[in-house]
Amino acid sequence: MNEFFPEVSRIEFEGKDSINPLAFKYYEADRVVGGKTMEEHLRFAVAYWHTFKSQGGDPFGSGTFQRAWNVGSPMEVAEKTMAANFEFVTKLGVPYYCFHDRDMAPEGETFQESISNLETMVAKAKEHQAETGVKLLWGTANLFSHPRFMHGAASNPDPHVVACCALQVRHAIAATKELGGENYVFWGGREGYETLLNTDMKREREQIAAFFHMCVDYARRIGFTGQFLIEPKPKEPTKHQYDFDAATVLSFLREFDLLDHFKLNVEANHATLAGHDFAHDLAVAADAGKLGSIDANTGDLLLGWDTDQFPTNVYDVTRAMLVVLGAGGLGSGGLNFDAKVRRGSIDGVDLFHAHIGGMDVFARGLLAAQAIIDDGRIDEFRAQRYAGWDTGFGKSMLDGNETLESLEAKALELGEPKRVSGRQEMLENILGNLI
Ligand code: GLC
Ligand code: MN
Ligand code: MN
């Protein structure tokens, strides 16, 4: 338990005046905020892929990280990587981790070998979980890295490839169940296209829906009770990703009769790539009762791609936490740091700095959001703004009891409406002052 990060011990809360870089300044796991502890609100998770599998490569250059766990045969590497994961998560003091099948166990020479690699590693993960108390927030299958998925996973023009997806997802769901995972995520990395000249979009979307119905059916048959989540993303790796944003995914689920079985895993950087802000996509999901979980990260406004950076912006995070608290919390979901340290941050300790910063920024966002709710001025302003819909002809319109003619009569009776300020700047000041 002290093998890969010997220079770091358990990260403690020291308060905002601490200058110890390896301490929390705001995240205090058992501090009660609005009736729940910070740990219960935030439900942090560490992402296996970025934190332990990333080598620091980018499209212009190879990996820069030299990880002590990345030495030996593929299965030796898998075991050491897993030990590093549980040591890290325990020292950081977060309750959860998340993984893809191929993060945890290497792809074998044959399908059978891949299956048995995963089963071996799942058995080991189960032991680590029992020993450390660390839990699984979600599992998933990597249906995007292998060359066989170059033309799509479930959306592939070749049903043979889709059968390979079925094999992989079946075992990934079973692994998630075995490890007590509270959710299972589908991120459609290759579910999209480049050109309609070779793509039948209608068929591809129908194929994905048929695949999801089989997944729902399988989960039910094996008794997996975790929540299925779809993670929207507008582009990357394909030009047109089918799961563009929260609204698009909700409409897909409705169209194919899947709405009852799925919620959304909203990632901050994917929302911004879709031209929304993070709070917007969270609100779209929450308004539909479908806010399942969050991939907590951020992009860079000056770079148009998915940089998956650790969150640092208290203002954005506060607005996100307002949506989360307004929705009554994350339920079985959590805040998964789907984020990677920059290529030049090569030391193991940099992984701690990154996560400590992300946790502190969410703790501050939580405190600020709760302060804004307790203050009440913003909620009160918004409620007042729509008060006309609570009574009179506003209400009767919503109840379906008005017609264009009856409303025309109202307009003629009342004349020109009074102009009212939206007070945006005043509200921004209230929010700013409460952060
Ligand atoms: C990939 C994506 C990430 C997603 C994860 C789960 O790493 O980049 O956004 O959450 O897979 O499939
Ligand atoms: Mn993600
Ligand atoms: Mn991303």
Domain limits of the chain? 12-375, 379-434
Q: CA-to-CA distance for 364 and 422, rounded, in angstroms?
A: 27
Q: CA-to-CA distance for 337 and 355, rounded, in angstroms?
A: 8
pLDDT in tens, 144-169: 999 999 999 999 999 999 999 999 99
pLDDT in tens, 352-380: 999 999 999 999 999 999 999 999 999 99
Ligand 1 atom at minimal distance to the Cα of residue 50:
7
pLDDT in tens, 100-119: 999 999 999 999 999 999 99
Q: Is the Cβ–Cβ distance between 22 and 356 less than 8 Å?
A: yes
Q: Is the Cβ–Cβ distance between 306 and 273 less than 8 Å?
A: yes
Q: For residue 265, how far is its CA from the centre of ligand 2 (angstroms)?
A: 8
2, pLDDT greater than 90: no
Query: Is residue 316 annotated as involved in ligand binding?
Result: no
pLDDT at 275: 97
Q: Please state which CATH number belongs to domain 12-375.
A: 3.20.20.150
Q: Environment class of residue 249 by beta-carbon count within 10 Å: exposed (0-12), middle (13-18) or buried (19+)?
A: buried
Find out whether the beta carbon of 140 lies less than 6 Å from any atom of ligand 1. yes
Find out whether the beta carbon of 231 lies less than 6 Å from any atom of ligand 1. yes
Q: Can you read off the two tokens belonging to residue 135? A: 């839990």
- Give the mutation target among 149, 186, 231, 269 for probing the ligand 1 site: most ligand atoms within 8 A of CB: 231
Q: Is residue 304 left, alpha or beta, with left meaning phi > 0 and alpha meaning psi from -120 to 50?
A: alpha
pLDDT in tens, 25-68: 999 999 999 999 999 999 999 999 999 999 999 999 999 999 99
pLDDT at 1: 79
Q: Is the Cβ–Cβ distance between 168 and 143 less than 8 Å?
A: yes
pLDDT at 239: 96
Please state the rounded mean pLDDT for residues 174-191: 99
Count of C-beta atoms within a 10 Å radius of residue 7: 10
394 CA to centre of own chain:
37
Sign for the CA dihedral angle at 27, 133, 340, 43 comes to negative
Q: Does residue 21 have a cis peptide bond before it, meaning omega lies within 30 degrees of 0?
A: no
Ligand 1 atom at minimal distance to the Cα of residue 142:
12
Q: For residue 229, how far is its CA from the centre of ligand 3 (angstroms)?
A: 15
Find out whether the beta carbon of 187 lies less than 6 Å from any atom of ligand 1. yes
Find out whether the beta carbon of 99 lies less than 6 Å from any atom of ligand 1. no
pLDDT at 26: 98
Average pLDDT, the chain: 98
Is-above-0.95 flag for pTM?
yes
Find out whether the beta carbon of 51 lies less than 6 Å from any atom of ligand 1. no
Residues recognised as catalytic: 100, 103
